[in-house]
Structure 1
Amino acid sequence: MIILILTGLLSCIRKTRLNKESQAAGHDTTFGINKFADLSSGEFNGRLSHTKPNNTGIPVLDASFFRQAVTNKTRHKRRSTRYPDYLDLRTMKVNGDKIVGRVKNQGECACCWGFAVTALIETVNAVATGEFTSLSDQELCDCGTEGTPGCKGGNLNLGVRYVRQYGLTTDELYTYDQDRAKVGRRCRVAEYRRVVPRRAFNFASISARKAEEEIIKVLNEWKVPVAVYFMVGESLRLYKKGMIVKDDCNPRAKDAAWHAGVIVGYDTIADENGREYDYWIIKNSWDDDWGESGYFRVIRGADWCAIEESPVTGRMDSYY
């Protein structure tokens, strides 16, 4: 009980300091006591991955990646390279279905990498088929790390390669259990039909040198998200609402904690001093009772906490 009280008190002190820094800088970011405030650093970091990003072997996105999949050339006409100042995939639908699914909850399992890949592929699949289907995060957590416990962490590379090779089933068939993937070798992929077929999904990484430009292009031209992997500092842990500007992550830390999400949009905001900040809209996997209904916003074009260093996106080959 004493430890719990001290942890909560420390969170209050940090929250107060972060809010004062945000207000002094003229930012709209608000920090608060949320469901993680009473967790020790060890308990919170246990929900994060400690596997570093690794895009080795993933082809880099180029101009031909999406066009290679298009057999009907009238389907995608040449577009202007001038993109709108604002875009949010959450507002878009196909055949009455939203193309971005609900915010899920990874719980105490560090399978954020799997949830991010699933969120990416759910939208890619919806755009390709005209129907949204919630896909199985548990399958990736159980099977995507080739035997090691998925709840111990992973990265985007593991997830997209798995779906490319084996496909993916639905949430309804292979349901999520936050404790199941804390033990390895529990994969049940053979028991369920494939909703995303094997070899249907293809993927590419986005160069860190032109990440902002390429992510905006993918969002606008192909209406699919971009999965990202980033470090976590106290700003994200105590985040309540607004746009995070401050980068409080330490890339040199030996015990750096990583998290994953999907960029579903972007916009620009002006602070109370009239300064404009560009930002990303990111879907998280900490349920909709955290942040802005499960989402958060961070400054874009500044590689906040390494968020623009290893993005991944994808397409469906078999549906074109």
Structure 2
Amino acid sequence: MFDVVPDVPLVTVIIASYNHAPYIEASINSVLRQTYPRIELLVIDDGSSDNSVALLSQLQAAHGFDLRVQANQGLSATLNAAIARARGTLIVPFGSDDIMLPHRIATQVEYLEGKPEVGVCSANIETIDHQGNVMGAREQRNRDLPFRRLDFDDLFLGRKPGPAAATLMFRREALDKVGGFDPDIRLEDIYITLSILRAGYCIDVLGEVLAQYRDHPTNTFKNGRFMVENVLKTYARFRDHPEYEAVCMRFRNSMFLKYANRDKPLARTTLRDIPLRHWNRKTVRGLWRLLASRR
């Protein structure tokens, strides 16, 4: 689709969907409405048990994008397989519950021109609810951030706000250099961005909104145990960094505080893995929440 202008880079957009029937049509339509003239759209249903396959089949018949249906393989393995058959020099994995603004692809392609050191281009996001309504100011933590260039330490040490997954555009050569996504890590965006930074590229995050991120009950980040397990598994791939232990402990302290009054078993397990020498203000605040909560 859109593959009619040979003198501009071909961009491959990959949408891997799992049980996102309420959101997938809006996601696909936002790709179809891009102003950029040369896009290859690959859609993969990864073993959905809702009515996604029937809906996707109807959309494919109407719009002619590449659709594949498979037994569940997980997002990282699915993305690797899609990248292997993608024809684009720029790769955009895109959430099946998110929405691109119409000028998103054109803006990022134009920005990347002449900047071979930038392995990934990202941008700001606007948060919407499950019905597509723009959420209030308190939920818009990544809407008004300024432009920033990230190196490995910026992201690993949390020195600057990281890139938004809903706006990632990768140079294919950068993905190839690091061997793609790791199927053993289910939180794919943190791993791949750190890997590309470690390989010597930088990530530029544009200071404008280019996508809408949908906040709904099944968002990955709302699964605390999943987040703790996979973020720490990701960090372990970079355990040779001199600040590795401190990075892990800061993350554990943040998760302990977050879940102290939401998930006491998870909070207690997390606290047991924080040695006393790594306690900080978040630990103390988390202990207060843990003791004060009746849940």
Name whichever structure is richer in helix by fraction. Answer: 2
Which TM-score bucket, shorter chain as reference? under 0.3
Q: TM-score, normalised by structure 2?
A: 0.25
Which structure is higher in RCO with an 8 Å CA cutoff and minimum separation 6? 1
